[in-house]
Structure 1
């Protein structure tokens, strides 16, 4: 007996859109969606459809983040990492530049370091609680520009902004992929 529409929707609700994308995009993954295809006449969603979902995302930062999340390649030398890092850096700079009266360091470099720090820990959430603010700032070289106390008092809002931006991009990805999933199951 084929998988009914109600059952498909229940399965869709249990699996996040990013987890759904990850299915069949890794080596030797099981394809459970083909069960019942013969009797129902439906064509199963395959890895090409899932790649199409990524390609259908409207913004480059969405494509970059979903690629990092799905394939798990968090190295700094990938095109997706660079695209997302540059996007975050530009956003942070646009917010910081009008706020700073006296420029005692290069603001763009500062924003690039903040973006690097927040992107690194966003992709590796298990590390967040293992390091102090001073350790995180040292890791990306921000202690060359400001002390940990100064960062906490004057610039911590940039970290919050970067995390919120990444969270918003992920929410947008979930929305568009969920829409794609629903439309592909209807077809």
Structure 2
């Protein structure tokens, strides 16, 4: 196995996926691998994203691969909506136990947006206070103390959900890479 092939083997699946999909200087030279295989190009890698099983994994993979962390893209919206629906389903049991003075659907949307934002930018979380994160995300109707005591578990749930989505992406991309190797 040559050195280039060994390097490709060591890449994580997300890194492999983004290898030829990010901005770079154009190279118009035709490269042929020394093994006689057809090279895996950017179309094959885009096919991996297109073949992901559902909308939320496609959205999360796109965000991770291209690093487009803007909150005004379709992928970001799709992922935020999915997380908010997930939180809403989890909160249903809590609604019967507690009397809320705010719209819980909107609250779930705000928590989803906040947790996604800070999970994609982990260094910012340590610099922003909980109150700052809440207000930044539109949650100015709850005191930070109340959020910490009653709703912090929602943030933990989002963290687990995002890890689960990333694992799903990794598994699928691994299978996709194996199929590409067998086909070439």
TM-score, normalisation: structure 1:
0.88
Mapped to 2, the partners of 1:30 and 1:175 lie a distance apart of 31
Unaligned runs of 5+ in 1: none
SS at match of 1:44: coil
SS at match of 1:99: helix
Query: Are the equivalent residues in 2 in contact too, given 1:3–1:36 (CA < 8 A)?
Result: no
Q: Report what 2:128 is aligned to.
A: 131
CA offsets 1:79-116 (integer angstroms, 9 cap, x no match): 10100000000000110122123131100000000001
Pick closer, same or farther for the CA change 1:29–1:21 going to 2, 3 Å. Answer: farther
Unaligned runs of 5+ in 2: none
Tell me the C-alpha RMSD between the 2 structures: 2.0
CA offsets 1:9-52 (integer angstroms, 9 cap, x no match): x4344211111111111233688xx8662x42210100000000
Residue 115 (str. 1) matches residue 115 (str. 2) = no
TM-score, normalisation: structure 2:
0.89
Q: 1:41 aligns with which of 36, 48, 53?
A: 36
CA offsets 1:155-176 (integer angstroms, 9 cap, x no match): 0000000111011101110110
SS at match of 1:27: coil
CA offsets 1:120-148 (integer angstroms, 9 cap, x no match): 0111122121111111111112132x110
Residue 96 (str. 1) matches residue 87 (str. 2) = no
Q: How does 1:1-187 map to 2 (within 5 A)?
A: 3=2, 8=5, 10-28=6-24, 37=33, 39-100=34-95, 101-144=98-141, 146-187=142-183
